[in-house]
Amino acid sequence: MASQARHVRRSKRALGALCAVVLAGSLTAAFAASASATTAPGYIYTIRAIITDKQVVLVQHKQTGKYFTQFVKTGGHSAQFPRGAAIEFLFINKGTKTYLPAIRVLDKSQADPYTRTKNLYLAPRQIKPGGHVSLFGNFYFRGAFRIETLFHQKPQGKTVDISIY
């Protein structure tokens, strides 16, 4: 009789442990699924950036202007985007000189330490007056960035500050 009572206690204990493991596994799976979705971009933003001899300005696209007021501020000289934003900048040169658009990383403190992050990302080619070029950015970590135009490898004019939150 005593051995049967021990066997019942062991079975209840084993069943309780199994239930705890299943519960912990399901909670882990639920939280892992929601955590990975926070950095996935839901949309690729295409933003035009007008370059003149004095400045760079982000401008509203006529057909998709609704996100402009949410993210781009202060007359196009600053912007804030959520982490994970995928942005294609379309640079249009309305100046009189040939420029090279660039995105400078100002704050790498939140970057992945195992991924090499450069200080400056350049457009694939320079833009002659009247020309255009695209530069794609995947902002996967929080930080501060700056859009610049380079003339003979030196920053020229007013820049655009971007904050990733």
Read off the pLDDT of residues 139-149 as tens digits, 9 standing for 90 and up.
989 999 999 99
Phi, psi at 112, each rounded to 5°: -65, 120
pLDDT bin (cut points 50, 70, 90) of residue 23 is: very low
What global pTM score does this model have? 0.71
CB 78 within 8 A of CB 85: no
Q: What CA–CA distances, in Å, run from 152 to 60, 72, 134, 156?
A: 29, 28, 20, 9
Neighbours of 17 (CB within 10 A): 10
Give the CATH fold of the 44-164 domain.
Answer: Immunoglobulin-like (2.60.40)
3-state secondary structure of 14: helix
